[in-house]
């Protein structure tokens, strides 16, 4: 069906259900950034593939709410005759409902697709506007989705201890200690990433993140019940984990939760990630509730020595692929047949041949010229641009290796034509912010919120800025965007950075309809030479395009940082490169 036909079909369902509107969040019951095809309801209804968004379909109007990264992409991809596009904020959602809804009207939502906290915020808005927020099961989108994909039958697999650096038994005892400390009997694990980390297992249930989709209950004594599709569990697991871990079908989850309540036990759940539908089940019983942050989140953010070693090796390996790609790119005919998609495919081919490669960690962003201004641009067949001389080319990509996860962005000048000064100055100011963050030493207890200004300050001097955060956490053969570590101007970035955390460093500048600039490397938090201080080690090993730098804007200290970084890149990567690639890298890393 076309998008207008899908909207019409949903509106007919609204009439049948006696509803005036329906909310479609991006998420599903598992709360992942990347979704399996059968869970991409928001994409199905809007045609916009976003990792952060929410749709509202009313009887005579519709809206899509997206964050700043997707604003331009959404407006370019969506049918603006059907949808209005707004920033993703509860204030904007409230204003939209206030404008289009009358008191007493009914607004439906699938309570499996929103967390407890998200539901509470929507419920507060509904109460303010005297709207009835109704839990609807099954999801109305599923009822009209005639060609809905079937779930993948892919098998889960063990992530060996020599990659993990710690056994699942040790991890479970560690998390169980949190339960004992809080006098809690069981912990409901809503996030598959937490569960996969805890058990040292991985899967292929979602694109780009090696996850088995499952939830679980960890008991105070360390034993677990895992709820998933048992067809995905190899017999090896039953031998490996028995008797301490029991694998059950998803439909047995409610039975286990009710069983806990009958013994008057207290259960821990994370309201930021647990679906509202789970809390509804718990509230229907006599179980004692302990709402608190998932204790696995911080533990998996603090990488152990084995994980850190693996991440260093993965980034060196990944650096080979990027250098091979950039070296190859310089030999290609521009303004001919090389498109954004073909370039992305070539980059992926260099990675696929590397040892321990598993998959990409997200879809390659391959953006030429004005497309670079779309922060999360994705080229589409038949609509992608040709790589042209004199244009900026932004490529943001990453990979999943068995020993680590990578994420890197470089912006390069295509060809040898002179670039207009505005873009070179913007690039240099982005670079200065990148260097300022990469080279800072900071006292223990410092938050990402406090560090964010370091990356923005030189853009602010000229009244420039970027709408996204400066840095996100990164997993070890897990999510490329891993909470809770972050570096951001938002107040959600109040967690102190600690030794072993890995975060991105990605300031940028985006001029609509002209160009986009982003420089991204991953940083590891390590002890500084000064007691009670930390600093960053840059894990990413890829040169920064010197053709885009206005040398006169760099201080001696910044110039020294860049030259030392390039020296390190050459020393680490050159031994494994071909003669031609080594020559390219030598030129790319020669001191400024």
Residue 207 has pLDDT above 70, yes or no: yes
Helix then strand count (H, E) for the chain reads 19, 28
> Is residue 407 predicted with pLDDT exceeding 80?
yes
Considering the chain, what is the average pLDDT of its residues?
95
**pLDDT classification of 42: cutoffs 50, 70, 90:** very high
pLDDT at 1 (0 to 100): 86
Examine the pLDDT at 419 and tell me if it is beyond 90: no
The last residue of one of the domains, among 300, 330, 359, is 300
**Residues 6 or more apart in contact with residue 534 via CB below 8 angstroms:** 441, 442, 443, 444, 446, 497, 498, 499, 525, 526, 527, 528
Domain extent at residue 350: 302-589
188, 69: one domain: no
Mean pLDDT over 216-231 rounds to 96
For residue 575, being part of any structural domain is answered with yes
pLDDT, position 405: 99
236 & 122 share domain: no
Instruction: Compute the half-sphere exposure of residue 90: CA atoms within 13 Å on the CB side of its CA.
Output: 11
pLDDT at 72 over 80: no
**The three-state (H, E, C) secondary structure of 60-81, written as one string:** CCEEEEECHHHHHHHHHHCCCC
Report the alpha-carbon distance of residue 473 to residue 471 in Å, rounded. 7
Q: Is 203 helix (H, G, I), strand (E, B) or coil?
A: coil
Q: Residue 67: inside a domain, yes or no?
A: yes
The span from the CA of 176 to the CA of 482, in Å, is: 22
* pLDDT at 520 exceeding the cut of 70: yes
What mean pLDDT comes out for the span 315-325? 99
Q: How far apart are the C-alpha atoms of 248 and 285, rounded to whole Å?
A: 21
pLDDT digits (tens, 9 = 90+) for 528-537: 999 999 999 9
Find the mean pLDDT for residues 139-158. Answer: 94
The H or E element spanning position 388 is: none
pLDDT score, position 130: 97
Please determine, for residue 256, whether its predicted confidence score (pLDDT) is greater than 80: yes
Q: Distance between alpha carbon 59 and the CA centroid of its chain, in Å?
A: 33
Local confidence band at 19 (pLDDT 50, 70, 90 cut-offs): very high
Q: Verify that 126 and 212 share a domain, yes or no.
A: no
Kindly indicate the confidence band of residue 162, based on its pLDDT and cuts at 50, 70 and 90: very high
Specify whether 38 is located in the same domain as 179: no
Q: Which of 144, 169, 203 is the last residue of a domain?
A: 144
pLDDT at residue 153 tops 90? no
What pLDDT score was predicted for residue 578? 96
Helices 305-330 and 579-589: crossing angle, nearest 10°? Answer: 100
Asked if residue 320 and residue 242 are part of one domain, the reply reads no
**Are 12 and 119 in the same domain?**
yes
Rounded mean pLDDT, 295-307: 98
Q: Which of 272, 300, 328 is the last residue of a domain?
A: 300
Indicate if 268 and 407 belong to the same structural domain.
no
What's 150's DSSP letter? P
Least-confidence region, from 49-58, 175-184, 446-455: 49-58
Question: What is the model's pLDDT at position 48?
Answer: 83
User: pLDDT value at position 68?
Assistant: 66
Residues 314 and 220 placed together within one structural domain of the fold: no
Any domain includes 355:
yes
CATH at residue 254: 3.40.350.10
Q: How many domains does the chain have?
A: 3
Tell me which residue of 547, 252, 208, 220 sits closest to 410, measured CA to CA: 547
* Together in a domain, 307 and 260: no
Report pLDDT for 70: 63
Q: Is there a single domain that holds both residue 262 and residue 363?
A: no
Q: For the chain, how long is the longest CA-to-CA vector?
A: 74
Q: Helix, strand or coil for residue 300? A: helix
Radius of gyration (C-alpha) of the chain in whole angstroms:
25
Mean pLDDT computed over 97-118: 97
Domain membership of residue 152 (yes or no) is no
Is residue 464 over pLDDT 90?
Answer: yes
The stretches of 84-130 forming alpha helices (DSSP H) are: 90-100, 116-128
Give the confidence band of 420 by pLDDT, cuts at 50, 70, 90: confident
Inside any domain, residue 150: no
**Of 385, 374, 379, the residue nearest 337 (C-alpha):** 385
| 316 found inside a domain | yes
DSSP β-bridge partners for residue 224: 218, 245
Residues 309, 291 share a domain: no
- Kind of pairing between the strands at 132-135 and 106-109: parallel
Instruction: Please state at what angle helix 579-589 crosses helix 556-573, rounded to 10 degrees.
Output: 170
* Confidence check: pLDDT of 86 > 80: yes
- Weakest mean pLDDT among 45-54, 244-253, 385-394, 432-441: 45-54
- Do 361 and 386 meet the contact criterion of CB atoms below 8 Å apart? no
What's the whole-number mean pLDDT along residues 402-417?
95
Lowest average pLDDT, out of 271-275, 293-297, 304-308, 378-382, goes to: 378-382
State the alpha helices, DSSP H only, in 232-290: 235-241, 253-262, 276-283
- Whether 151 is covered by a domain: the verdict is no
Pair (137, 183) in one structural domain: no
The pLDDT of residue 286 is above 90: no
Question: What percent of the chain is predicted at pLDDT more than 70?
Answer: 99
Mean pLDDT of 448-477: 98
Q: What is the CATH number of the domain that holds 534?
A: 3.90.230.10
């Amino acid at each position: 069906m076309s998008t207008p036909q899908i909207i019409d079909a949903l509106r007919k369902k609204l009439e049948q259900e006696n509803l005036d509107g329906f909310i479609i969040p991006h998420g599903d019951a598992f709360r992942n950034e990347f979704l399996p095809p059968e869970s991409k309801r928001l994409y199905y209804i809007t045609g916009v593939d976003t990792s952060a968004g929410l749709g509202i379909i009313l009887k005579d109007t519709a809206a899509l709410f997206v964050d700043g990264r997707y604003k331009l992409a959404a407006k370019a991809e969506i049918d603006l005759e059907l949808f209005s596009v707004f920033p993703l904020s509860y204030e904007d959602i409230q204003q939209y409902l206030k404008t289009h809804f009358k008191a007493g009207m009914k607004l439906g939502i699938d309570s499996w697709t929103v967390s407890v906290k998200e539901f509470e915020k929507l419920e507060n808005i509904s109460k303010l506007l005297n709207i009835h927020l109704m839990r609807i099961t099954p999801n109305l989108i599923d009822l009209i989705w005639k060609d809905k994909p079937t779930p993948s039958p892919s098998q889960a697999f063990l992530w060996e201890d020599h990659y993990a650096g710690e056994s699942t038994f040790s991890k479970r005892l560690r998390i169980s200690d949190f339960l004992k400390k809080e006098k809690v009997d069981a912990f409901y694990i809503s996030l598959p990433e937490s569960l996969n980390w805890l058990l040292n297992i991985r899967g292929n249930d979602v694109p780009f993140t090696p996850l088995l989709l499952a939830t679980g209950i960890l008991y105070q004594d360390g034993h677990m019940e895992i709820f998933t599709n048992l067809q995905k569990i190899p017999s090896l697991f039953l031998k490996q984990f028995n008797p301490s871990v029991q694998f059950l079908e998803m439909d047995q989850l409610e039975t286990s939760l009710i069983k806990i309540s009958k013994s008057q036990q207290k259960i821990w759940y994370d309201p930021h990630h647990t679906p509202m539908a789970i809390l509804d089940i718990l509230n229907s019983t006599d179980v004692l509730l302990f709402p608190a942050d998932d204790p696995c989140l911080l533990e998996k953010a603090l990488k152990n020595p084995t994980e850190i070693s693996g991440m260093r090796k993965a980034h060196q390996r990944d650096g080979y692929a990027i250098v091979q790609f950039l070296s190859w790119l310089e030999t290609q005919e521009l303004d001919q047949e090389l498109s954004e998609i073909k370039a992305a495919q070539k980059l992926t081919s260099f990675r696929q041949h590397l040892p321990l490669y598993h998959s990409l960690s997200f879809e390659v962003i391959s953006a030429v010229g004005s497309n670079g201004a779309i922060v999360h641009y994705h080229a589409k067949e038949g609509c992608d641009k040709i790589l042209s001389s004199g244009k900026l080319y932004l490529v943001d990509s990453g990979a999943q290796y068995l020993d680590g996860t990578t994420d890197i962005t470089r912006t390069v000048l295509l060809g040898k034509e002179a670039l207009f000064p505005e873009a070179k100055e913007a690039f240099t100011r982005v670079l200065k912010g990148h260097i300022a963050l990469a080279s800072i030493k900071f006292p223990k207890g410092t938050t990402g919120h406090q560090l964010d200004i370091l990356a923005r300050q030189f853009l602010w001097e000229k009244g420039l800025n970027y709408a996204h955060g400066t840095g996100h956490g990164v997993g070890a053969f897990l999510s490329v965007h891993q909470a809770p570590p972050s570096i951001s101007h938002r107040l959600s970035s109040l967690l102190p950075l600690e030794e072993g955390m890995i975060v991105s460093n990605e300031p940028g500048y985006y001029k609509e309809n002209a160009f986009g600039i982003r420089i991204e490397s991953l940083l590891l938090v390590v002890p500084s030479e000064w007691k009670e201080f930390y600093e960053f080690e840059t894990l990413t090993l890829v040169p920064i395009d010197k053709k885009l730098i206005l040398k006169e804007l760099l201080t001696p200290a910044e110039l020294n940082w860049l030259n030392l970084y390039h020296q390190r890149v050459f020393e680490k990567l050159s031994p494994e490169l071909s003669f031609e690639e080594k020559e390219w890298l030598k030129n790319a890393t020669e001191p400024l």
